[in-house]
Structure 1
Amino acid sequence: MLMSTPFTASSTAMDVTTGVDLTGRAMIVTGASSGIGVETARALAARGAQVTLAVRDMDAGQRTADTIAATTGNDRVSVRRLDLTDLGSIGAFSTEWNGPLHALIHNAGVMETPQTYTRHGWELQFATNHLGHFALTLALQSALTEAATATGEARIVAVSSSGHGSSPVRFDDLFFRRRPYDPGQAYGQSKTAQILFAVEATRRWAHHGITANALMPGGVWTNLQRHWDPDRRARLQAAFPGKTLQQGAATSVLLAASPRLRGVSGRYFDDCNEAEPVEEIIDGLHGVRAWALDQDAARRLWDVSLALVDAVRG
């Protein structure tokens, strides 16, 4: 049975946490200096959480943290540098983390970038959206387990996209070395990978009290679409206003903080409810493709991802 809540596409991040007290909970939001990441962090802080903004741009991150502290009255908002394309940066971030971690929100991402490779030789979208978050979560597993041992749960939230419907993970050519580069398909497989990560993390870590779910935030106009052709963006934005940032952050915050999601894991949500399996993504926004929930693909992706990370680390 699909998991349902009373919330909808119009619900905001504050709506879904009404009455929720997160005092004493430590949470990390990656990419929290812009877009829905800001509103995700703001809602969590407003409910009392200790929130760490994991960002590449420290100046932008500090401005965001100061604004969140001022608007919520919660001064337990900090900023730490994190570059998800660099395993050295990920290692430094995780080494410096102290204490339990109650929620890790994989919010940072890039979309339909020009063909680019990281210093590790990985295609940029797959590296940022999946591999970087994968390595970060492995490095913070002990902190998640510590939180789960103390409170009965810790949560991983992966911000995926309906864009996963454009491509499964192409294991035979992850980084477009042999096929022509297609920015939309590269984005799609990276977002499929985020859902598969939640599926396999559930199988591996549920007995530790760690849950993992993925989500589609909804159609939200942010800096994420900066690589789109300006005319294309203008046409679509005029025809489809989309969600506000506060509405776009709602499903992330629901999965990270709501008691309604306690014990729920390995699922994909949109508009604050579990998405139904579909043959094609409905209206470009709704539903989940079977390839994103395939347990065999999830296990294979984990093994491949671990091998890639280990090869770089030596």
Structure 2
Amino acid sequence: MLGLLKRRSSSGFSPSSTAEEVTAGIDGSGLVAIVTGASHGIGAETCRVLALRGAHVVMSVRNLLSGASVREDILRKVPTAKVEVMEIDLSSMSYVRKFVVNFNALNLQLNILIYNRFSAHGQSKLANILHSSELSNHMKGAATVCYLALHPRVAGVTGKYFIDFDDVGLKYPATDKELAKRLWDFSGSLIP
């Protein structure tokens, strides 16, 4: 079992690599990142490491008090961090619209969007993959997320699915561009 944790991927990192290790030496200054699920766990760690590397982080949270606590912790560890906390409930379109209005009021150019919700499985996971693929046509943990957000080796890579820093090479139906487009269009039709 220990051998699996030490195995290096093609990126040069292993499953036991930390978010700080995989982003060491990377300057995220000038980048703006929105991270959902940012008030705990992987989301909070992702925010901390992105802020540590200089990115302006917008924490999107359901609970503003929890988000504020994480923000304070980040600022204690990284006093120069640029971190905002904004409320969102992704199950409510009115909250999503309010979040968009509030984010736009910040006059920031969004560079990185990290949808940090790992509870989806099955067809909803396929929907996430297809949406990611189509999103690129339109505009496991914190280590892999931060690697993908900041590392120059994957700059410009979109619409892929990664495990332990490696592109896992999606299979049909996750590679079906027509299905991705139809899902994108259908989802858009649900938004008033």
State if a TM-score over 0.5 links the two structures.
yes
SS of equivalent residue, structure 2 residue 158: coil
Q: Is the contact made by 1:27 and 1:52 (CA closer than 8 Å) also made in structure 2?
A: yes
Which residue in the other structure is 1:224 paired with? none
Residue 16 of structure 1: which of 8, 17, 22 is its match? Answer: 22
**1:198 aligned partner:** 132
Read off the aligned partner of 2:159 and give its amino acid letter: G
Q: Take 2:17 and 2:129, find their aligned partners in 1: how far apart are those partners?
A: 23
Pick the structure with greater CA Rg.
1
User: 1:53: which partner in 2?
Assistant: 59
Corresponding residue for 1:80?
Answer: 86
TM-score (norm 1): 0.55
Question: For residue 108 of structure 1, what is the aligned residue in structure 2?
Answer: 117
Tell me how many residue pairs correspond in the alignment: 181
AA matched with 1:95: V
Does the CA contact (< 8 Å) of 1:46 and 1:73 recur in 2? no
2:62 and 2:55 map into 1 onto residues whose CA distance is 22
Cα distance between partner residues in 2 of 1:6 and 1:290: 28
Letter in 2 for 1:194: N
Give RMSD over aligned pairs.
1.7
Report deviation, 1:26. Answer: 1.3
Other-structure match for 1:159: none
User: 2: CA distance between counterparts of 1:54 and 1:256?
Assistant: 17
Of 116, 123, 126, which residue of structure 2 is paired with 1:189? 123
The answer to whether 1:265 aligns with 2:147 is no
Distance 2:176 2:14 in 1: 27
1:275 corresponding residue in structure 2: 168
Amino acid at match of 1:68: I
Instruction: Specify the alignment match of 2:179 in structure 1.
Output: 297
SS in 1 for 2:59: strand
How far did residue 92 of structure 1 move? Answer: 1.0
SS at structure 2 position matched to 1:264? coil
Shift of 1:4: 4.1
1:252 aligns with 2:145: yes
Once residues 175 and 21 of structure 2 are traced to their aligned partners in structure 1, the CA distance between those partners, rounded to angstroms, is 29
Corresponding residue number in structure 1 for 2:108: 99
Q: In structure 2, the residue corresponding to 1:14 is in which secondary structure? A: helix
Indicate conservation of the 8 Å contact 1:4/1:274, yes or no: no
- Per-residue displacement from partner, 1:241-272 (whole Å, max 9, x unpaired)? xxxxxxx2111111111111112222111001
Per-residue deviation at 1:50?
Answer: 1.1
Partner SS, residue 113 of structure 2? strand
Distance 2:76 2:117 in 1: 23
Q: Secondary structure at the match of 1:45?
A: helix
Specify every segment of 5 or more residues in structure 2 that has no aligned partner in the other structure, as ranges: 1-8
Q: Tell me the CA shift for residue 55 of structure 1.
A: 0.3
User: Which ranges of 4 or more aligned residues in structure 1 deviate by more than 2 Å?
Assistant: 72-75
